[in-house]
Structure 1
Amino acid sequence: MPDYVNPFFYSPSPGLFPPESDRLSVHQKMLKVGLNTGNMMFASALHRVLGSEAGSAWAPRVEDFDAEKVGADHDCVVIAAANWLQPRSDFGALAEKLEKTGLPCFLIGLGAQAGSFSARPELPEGTRRMLDVVSHRSNKIAVRGPFTAEVLKTVGIENVEVTGCPSLLVASDNHIEKPAQTPQRIGIAGSRGAPNDKLLVAKQITHTLSRKLSQLMLDQPLDFIAQAEIPDINILMSQGRYDDVRPDWIEFLEKYYGAGIDRISSAITEKMNVFFNIPDWLDYLKDMDFIVSTRLHGTIAALIAGTPTLLIVHDSRTREMFEIMGIPSVPAEDIDPDAIDFKALYDSVDTNKFTVGLPAYRARYIRFFEENGLRHNL
């Protein structure tokens, strides 16, 4: 079995931005994390386990991927994947880069996204080509759960290992303590990316809950951890100024929050947080009592920090992670958006299944790495 020791990572930032990154614009930083800071969680874990966060060579975008140089300087390509199996994502350009390297390619943490397990996402031709390249250049592909494995099977890819998301490879085996008292410092990690007027009328429970949780930040003592809410992040990084925020974004925010921009800006400045550095993110979470999240990696970050958390399960991606990794969760349908009871949600958190399952989860990854000849430090 080969021993691959010098991987090139096709991944978002591993979550350790150098000091000079303070000069980067919000847009530039968001591009480095794949437009969602949660992506740093799985990228960081893979860099730490298979390479070095500080010294690993990586590229966050196809445009930054020099296939000829990678082929000459490295012995394999590690692809830190996310919920890539969906109709709107075409990875044909990545397939071309991977082919040009001539190297073994290892796809890790791949997930499929659909409204439910009964739906199978249609995969673009470019994505199928990328999957075919990786399937032939590795022993197995590491996927997040059985649903993703089934989606791959429909396009003829069967050399698959169900491993879960790699983000939790850096989690501690220690049991997460949940003090008996009512939580005081509560954080929200809601799901909303770029402005989209469809979100204002969408009836899906995830959109309804995410919007309601965002609105509660205006009136209640709640923190909000932003990951992909670009207009909000721009206001936050400008210390509440919104002069340079696009007028259509301001109009969207006022409709979404149901308030004027001055009030929104004040709440964002006082209560919203965004992190481009994982140690800072985890330190912040360690001081929180409870995190309620519709975001998978918002939940995972809290688990790594040892903070009680609850994932609101609302699609195939979040359900798959709950089932394979034992993440504390609640079905979105069980929450009334107009009567969210944070104390009841906190009382329902049970981290035992997650803690007990960590050794088996880690063993699955060790087996995957060793079957593919990837040197690791687990």
Structure 2
Amino acid sequence: MITVYDTACGSLNMGDEIIMDAVMMHLESLFSHEQFCRYPTHYALAAKTLKKAWQNPLAFVGGTNLLRNYWRFRARKNQWSIGFFDGFKMQPAILMGAGWNSYAEKPEWKAKVFYNNALSKQYLHSVRDQYTLEKLKACGIENVINTGCPTLWQLTPEHLKQIPSQKAQSVVFTLTDYSRDIEADVQLIQCLKEHYLSLYFWAQGSEDNQYFDQLAEQHPELFNGIVRIATNLNAYNTLLKDHEIDFIGTRLHAGIRALQLKKRVIIIGIDNRAIEMHRDFNLPVVERHDLTLLKQRINMQWQPEIHLPFDAIAHWKSQFVN
């Protein structure tokens, strides 16, 4: 039995489902004869439940913005709902593509103590980007390598060659409820209307639809004709599979899912995750206010050249191969 700290269970962001899909695909490939028991990271667990999670010889943490500069004593106050003192008692966990939640200053002492107790010293940890690696090293965690997010691991050069080099006639876009910039987002939609015949909208986060409605109320003519697809991951997957369509939007993992399904993608960078993954791996990202570059990328012929650390990924996986 293997413990998996599940970052999608109870999440208000379907990007976490995309991450956990990849996490479980790779873990099931590595441990084909093991059973996995998944415990949510978003909610504090009862002591009895935690003891069960800590009984298993291996425990993996499935990606996302789980790490940060500080750690609270009470579990429910933390991004990963494990209390400070639980770090001394738990089966040390192994990070799998985890990331730092935002740009921040020097980690405080409780975070350093927690990570040094809660994270395995026996196994290498896999992190999403170089920024996260440097943050963990600042906490005294040296057994860590940058593998990128597990959602990227299948994006081999052979896979990327199958992505169209020219724009489609249709585009699906996303907005981000917690990073609202009405002027920039309206300009984004105006840009998409100028360059595509059909526009689709998918809400990845819990309040993205409300933000869409707010913008539509303010700009009814602009939003006329935009098709809003069902707010679930199956609907989004089906749209991508059944249409010749591009993705352009502010939701990082909606863009990565489109890359997985061999679609032309431009991610609008609004936070450290997309920007750092662009810096490390050349993920196709355009920063939010660079409309000139966005228009150029839409209209020019190009294919993604994502430079993944396949040797580091293989090295991390090799720890678990007998």
Q: CA deviation at 1:91?
A: 4.6
2:287 aligned partner:
331
1:192 aligns with 2:167: no
Q: CA deviation at 1:40?
A: 1.4
Aligned partners of 1:92 and 1:125 also within 8 Å: no
Distance in 2 between residues matched to 1:362 and 1:333, nearest whole Å: 32
The alpha-carbon distance between structure 1 residues 229 and 132, as it changes in their structure 2 partners (threshold 3 A), is same
Distance in 1 between residues matched to 2:172 and 2:7, nearest whole Å: 24
Matching of residues 77-156 of structure 1 within 5 Å = 77-86=59-68, 90-91=78-79, 93-95=81-83, 96-97=85-86, 99-101=88-90, 103-114=91-102, 120-121=104-105, 123=107, 127-156=111-140
The alpha-carbon distance between structure 1 residues 83 and 121, as it changes in their structure 2 partners (threshold 3 A), is farther
Q: CA deviation at 1:36?
A: 0.7
Residue type matched to 2:177 in 1? R
Q: CA deviation at 1:304?
A: 0.3
Distance in 2 between residues matched to 1:218 and 1:48, nearest whole Å: 37
Matching of residues 230-249 of structure 1 within 5 Å = 230=207, 232=209
Q: Say which of 285, 295, 302 aligns to 2:258.
A: 302
Residue type matched to 1:81 in 2? G
Residue type matched to 1:71 in 2? W
Aligned partners of 2:87 and 2:115 also within 8 Å: no
1:63 aligned partner:
44
Aligned partners of 1:108 and 1:166 also within 8 Å: yes
Q: What CA deviation, in whole Å up to 9, does each residue of 1:300-322 have, x standing for no partner?
A: 10110000101223333212111
1:49 aligned partner:
26
Matching of residues 332-351 of structure 1 within 5 Å = 332-335=288-291, 341=295, 344-348=296-300, 350-351=302-303
Distance in 1 between residues matched to 2:255 and 2:52, nearest whole Å: 37
Residue type matched to 2:286 in 1? V
Structure 1 unpaired stretches of 5+:
1-5, 14-31, 233-248
Counterpart of 2:44 in 1: which secondary structure?
A: helix
Residue type matched to 1:12 in 2? T
Distance in 1 between residues matched to 2:116 and 2:269, nearest whole Å: 31
Higher RCO (Cα < 8 Å, 6 or more apart): 1
Q: Which has the higher helix share?
A: 1
Q: Say which of 229, 247, 251 aligns to 1:272.
A: 229
Distance in 1 between residues matched to 2:135 and 2:305, nearest whole Å: 26
Aligned partners of 1:217 and 1:224 also within 8 Å: no
The alpha-carbon distance between structure 1 residues 123 and 192, as it changes in their structure 2 partners (threshold 3 A), is farther
1:157 aligns with 2:105: no
Distance in 2 between residues matched to 1:121 and 1:214, nearest whole Å: 35
1:36 aligns with 2:13: yes
Matching of residues 208-247 of structure 1 within 5 Å = 208-210=183-185, 212-213=187-188, 221-230=198-207, 232=209
TM-score, length of structure 2 as denominator length: 0.76
Distance in 2 between residues matched to 1:304 and 1:213, nearest whole Å: 24
1:315 aligns with 2:271: yes
Q: Say which of 3, 7, 20 aligns to 1:12.
A: 7
Q: CA deviation at 1:177?
A: 3.1
The alpha-carbon distance between structure 1 residues 221 and 87, as it changes in their structure 2 partners (threshold 3 A), is farther
Counterpart of 2:7 in 1: which secondary structure?
A: coil
How many residue pairs were aligned? Answer: 303
Distance in 2 between residues matched to 1:148 and 1:349, nearest whole Å: 33
1:166 aligns with 2:150: yes
Counterpart of 1:284 in 2: which secondary structure?
A: helix
Q: Say which of 218, 234, 245 aligns to 1:259.
A: 218
Structure 2 unpaired stretches of 5+:
71-76
Aligned partners of 1:187 and 1:291 also within 8 Å: yes
Q: CA deviation at 1:156?
A: 2.7
Q: Give % identity.
A: 19
Aligned partners of 2:171 and 2:245 also within 8 Å: yes
Task: Supply the RMSD in Å over aligned alpha carbons.
Answer: 3.7
